[in-house]
Structure 1
């Protein structure tokens, strides 16, 4: 039994190493298939790592804050245990910051003023007539108010902001290294994977990044990130705002992108094990409340092989000829 527990813990670490490959996914599938006990052991190991993460992170922070203490000149069993304990704490802290396959929230999410869990949406009424609609896996900080209006920092995720103040108060939303501002407008802002996407839904907003400033009116969208600031382009706002109706709408989008988006809303993880399958184009809409049906739909539409694993992990691959 102890051997099985060690193997399960090793799988949690390997899948969280940021270096997991398709071969790892297939090997994990074979390991889980050996018995029900293997699958149960993985679920338990994941729960243990998740429960230990906050304490381990505090240990790591304390070590950084206080610095290393003087070591005894002579090695001792206690010292060795302390070293091993520190190594385990560091590993758990790493998994707390970078959870395996994003199977649980990162501890970084816990410190925001407002946050939403996987699949959760939330409305926040703010000062000066500003209404903040938060989508799944979103973290927001509110900066101290000023005469110029409400200040919001979108740390990650997606939100729709409606600024309907009867006075000329300006709402500003900072995301990455840019700032979006408006007086009376409604806009959608998304900050994921190092890129920010701003869509004006009504009125006019200004997007500023360094010395660059671009005005967006209704129905126009702009992206910025590591590649710089893109041009303002017209866009169909229907798919952009579909999440407000509890829908995900895809119009000729590669399946790999669909899977990445679906994973933001469901517990567990869909994993593509075929690059060719990931390039398949998808024209579909899914209910956010029924995302467990996505794997079955992929199997029916593309003949994919679907393998259900513990912890909500689902492998999607090309069916064998």
Structure 2
């Protein structure tokens, strides 16, 4: 059963509160660094709910310690107002336990393995603590797992564009189903579907590796096998029960979704509609199988299936009907002659 908007908001709020509790512990701990503070600011910017929950947790924190002003909470407090470091640490740790309810492990889990997702028609930019930026397409989800020796991301569904920050000491690994992409500092696009995975390299260099089936969906994986090295402009398409295919598509077409567009080039109508439906809950439906093979070209706005249907209907003389939130395309009926 799908969660209601209210339930989803409660889950989001609890996750943000748990993460905020861990940030309180880390920021008042003995190992605070400039990188930690930068990561905290990136976390705040990632979601407005993060800031709201951090303020809430901070209010409770301040009730047991001296006042800390604004975002200057990141700045050292005057010694006359501050508690001892040991007391600060104990209070912060206790506060984290109170807010997450399930113990400090849960908060650490959220902080170490955050998940980011988008709904249909939504896009989101996620800035990670190392400077890497991930742009999520419509109806997509990724899970992050950063460690001291490596940076891991798992794509659970959808599509994402990666601008990876260079860090030779920590390889950047992205898993999509049974394949893994390895990069250091580069830009690439991954589209992950149930039946195929497409990796397109924009700049830099990546290797794409197959992974044994026995690994399942675990984000932690051993060394991959069967590597393919991509050059800028190349795309690797791996479909189930088919050999891998390497081609060179138009990069502006592959990344058109980042501009809110879909670029079609002699695409059959059935495939064009499947692509447009990724971005709009007003689903397009083909009523007449005879029109499914019509070839469609052009640039169309995402999340605007109504306009797409009108344009296609004028181009091919189709009829547009609306039923229960769906937009149906059918062959227009020609009036009978007298």
TM-score class, shorter? 0.5 to 0.7
Tell me, which stretches of 5 or more residues in structure 2 are unaligned? Answer: 8-112, 212-224
Structure 1 residue 245 corresponds to structure 2 residue 259: yes
**Cα-to-partner distance string for 1:55-84 (whole Å, 9 max, x where unaligned):** xxxxxxxxxxxxxxxxxxxxxxxxxxxxxx
* Residue equivalent to 1:122: 124
Give the secondary-structure state (helix, strand or coil) at the position aligned to 1:232. Answer: strand
- The verdict on how the C-alpha distance between 1:174 and 1:49 changes in structure 2, with shifts beyond 3 A counting, is closer
Q: Report deviation, 1:120.
A: 0.4
Contact kept? 2:173, 2:182, Cα under 8 Å:
yes
- The verdict on how the C-alpha distance between 1:50 and 1:151 changes in structure 2, with shifts beyond 3 A counting, is closer
Give the secondary-structure state (helix, strand or coil) at the position aligned to 1:260. Answer: helix
* Residue equivalent to 1:285: 299
Contact kept? 1:130, 1:171, Cα under 8 Å:
no
Contact kept? 1:127, 1:150, Cα under 8 Å:
no
TM-score normalised by L of structure 2: 0.60
Measure the CA separation in 2 of the matches of 1:49 and 1:154. Answer: 21
Larger radius of gyration: 2
- The verdict on how the C-alpha distance between 1:112 and 1:274 changes in structure 2, with shifts beyond 3 A counting, is farther
Q: Number of aligned residue pairs: give it.
A: 217
TM-score normalised by L of structure 1: 0.63
* Residue equivalent to 1:160: 161
Residues 109-258 of structure 1 mapped to structure 2, 5 A cutoff: 113-143=115-145, 145-210=146-211, 211-258=225-272
* Residue equivalent to 1:320: 333
Q: Report deviation, 1:276.
A: 2.3
Contact kept? 1:128, 1:149, Cα under 8 Å:
no
Measure the CA separation in 1 of the matches of 2:199 and 2:307. Answer: 30
Tell me, which stretches of 5 or more residues in structure 1 are unaligned? Answer: 1-47, 55-110
Q: Report deviation, 1:149.
A: 2.6
Give the secondary-structure state (helix, strand or coil) at the position aligned to 1:164. Answer: coil
Structure 1 residue 276 corresponds to structure 2 residue 290: yes
Contact kept? 2:265, 2:298, Cα under 8 Å:
yes
Q: Report deviation, 1:304.
A: 1.2
Measure the CA separation in 2 of the matches of 1:51 and 1:163. Answer: 35
Measure the CA separation in 2 of the matches of 1:51 and 1:166. Answer: 41
- The verdict on how the C-alpha distance between 1:149 and 1:49 changes in structure 2, with shifts beyond 3 A counting, is closer
Contact kept? 2:269, 2:295, Cα under 8 Å:
yes
- Which structure is higher in strand share? 1
Measure the CA separation in 2 of the matches of 1:50 and 1:165. Answer: 39
* Residue equivalent to 1:63: none
CA RMSD of aligned residues (A): 2.5
- The verdict on how the C-alpha distance between 1:129 and 1:112 changes in structure 2, with shifts beyond 3 A counting, is closer
Contact kept? 2:167, 2:184, Cα under 8 Å:
no
